[in-house]
Amino acid sequence: MPNINVYYVLFHTIHDVLRVEKILKQHGLSYELVPVPRNLSSDCGICLKLHNEIGCLWPLLPDIEVARCVLFDGNEYISVQLP
């Protein structure tokens, strides 16, 4: 059965999203920048969508504050506790 889990990682500002994008590119990690799902936030900006396990992301973000992280398992959105 294919893994349909995806993570949405939200940041306070698009500047932080792009800082994370730069880091992910440097580490060769795959990601997408997508509009923030409306049920997660009323922000009009973008967030990170990851298909990988989220654990590898946290050590890469020492000084970037994550606003929210949510797992979508195909049925529902589940808040992920931030480290």
Chain residues binding other proteins by CB under 8 A are 12-16, 18-19, 22, 33-36, 41-46, 65
The least distance separating other proteins from the CB of residue 67, rounded to whole angstroms, comes to 9
Q: Quick one: 1 or 38, whose CB is closer to other proteins?
A: 38
CA distances from 82 to 2, 4, 52, 58, 70 (A): 26, 21, 16, 9, 10
The whole-angstrom separation of Cα 62 and Cα 35 is 24
Which residue in 10, 48, 3 sits closest to 29, CA to CA? 48
Q: Quick one: 53 or 65, whose CB is closer to other proteins?
A: 65
The least distance separating other proteins from the CB of residue 49, rounded to whole angstroms, comes to 11
